[in-house]
């Protein structure tokens, strides 16, 4: 197999179709970094990541991290070696994705074959409704009323009014909610019964990650899922007894290689798995589709929030995400 010999990275901006609000602020654009690894024969693999300010990342810092391993990549550093060369996070995700893509091209095989996994099939993905007034969120839910699964972003305000509006507009949709660390224990305890009665299937990261020990021993009527609290398999010991599920995002784990390790370790410990994403293009979603067969919740709708996706993007039909074509990734 020809060794990689060139690693490069560029940043890109992808405007959103509409402003997207969560408890921490409003996004109007997806800023991504795309890494490319090219071998001496001219084959090239690509991987995409989202630098995330909440984790202290910027576009410049991520591009700098990628540049720091360029020499090692040229000398043959592989995906396993990359786990030691870069910390978990966006930069490692982009490089890991590019290495997977290049290996697939070199071997003439798909990523799921190289990983020893079953061939991915279409999976139900959540479609996300950002924070707005109850009327705005109800209107958006009506537009998505045929979606089988809706993910509702929330903060601490008007929770019942917002969810009532969504449920009334899309009564047949399954619901999961995501306060993005925006609640406290008192609010969670007060809302648990209401959310269960409404049929909400999961609460994602209700309280701040640095203070989530308050969840230990809590008897919540709705399963709790760790997002900001869970980055890699090393976090699982602490999360046992706090959460029922973990949300695996490649930008947190630092790529598919570490994500596969996390999924295996989480399931072995009895955690259910959610597969999530940052707001990004189909290139950022594609590697995560390999994790969907083992997930009870899939949330890979990032490209649906964009005004326009990249060429050869993923297909979404009737609330289902389809596996990537080789022309996109892997």
Q: Which residues are catalytically annotated?
A: 153, 249
Per-residue b or e along 262-292, where b marks 16 or more CB atoms closer than 10 Å to that residue's CB = bbebbeeeebbbbbbbbbbbbbbbbbbbbbb
> Measured on CA atoms in the order 112, 117, 122, 128, is the torsion positive or negative?
negative
Contact predicate 254/93, CB 8 Å: yes
């Amino acid at each position: 197999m020809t060794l990689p010999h060139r690693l490069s990275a560029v940043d890109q901006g992808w405007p959103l179709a509409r402003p997207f609000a969560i408890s921490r602020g409003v996004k109007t654009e997806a800023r991504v970094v795309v890494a490319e690894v090219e071998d001496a024969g001219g084959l090239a693999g690509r991987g995409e990541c989202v630098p995330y300010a909440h984790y202290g990342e910027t576009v410049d810092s991520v591009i700098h991290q990628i540049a720091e391993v360029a020499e090692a990549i040229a000398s043959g550093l592989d995906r396993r070696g990359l786990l030691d060369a870069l910390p978990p996070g966006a930069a490692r995700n982009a490089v890991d994705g590019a290495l997977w893509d290049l290996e697939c091209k070199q071997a003439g095989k798909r990523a799921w074959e190289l990983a020893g996994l079953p061939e991915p099939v279409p999976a139900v993905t959540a479609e996300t409704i950002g924070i707005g007034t109850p009327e705005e969120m109800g209107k958006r839910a009506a537009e998505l009323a045929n979606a089988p699964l809706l993910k509702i972003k929330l903060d601490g305000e008007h929770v019942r009014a917002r969810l009532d509006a969504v449920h009334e507009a899309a009564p047949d949709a399954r619901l999961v909610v995501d306060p993005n660390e925006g609640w406290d224990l008192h609010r969670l305890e007060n809302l648990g019964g209401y959310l269960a009665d409404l049929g909400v299937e999961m609460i994602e990261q209700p309280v701040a990650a640095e203070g989530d020990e308050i969840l230990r021993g809590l008897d919540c009527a709705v399963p709790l899922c760790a997002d900001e609290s869970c980055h890699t398999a090393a976090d699982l010991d602490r999360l046992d007894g706090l959460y029922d599920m973990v949300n695996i995002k490649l930008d947190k784990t630092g790529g598919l290689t570490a994500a596969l390790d996390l999924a295996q370790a989480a399931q072995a410990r009895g955690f259910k798995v959610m597969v999530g994403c940052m707001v990004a293009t189909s290139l950022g979603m594609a590697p995560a589709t390999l994790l969907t067969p083992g997930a009870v919740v899939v949330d890979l709708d990032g490209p649906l929030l964009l005004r326009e996706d990249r060429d050869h993007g993923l297909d979404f039909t009737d609330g289902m995400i389809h596996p990537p074509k080789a022309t996109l990734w892997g």
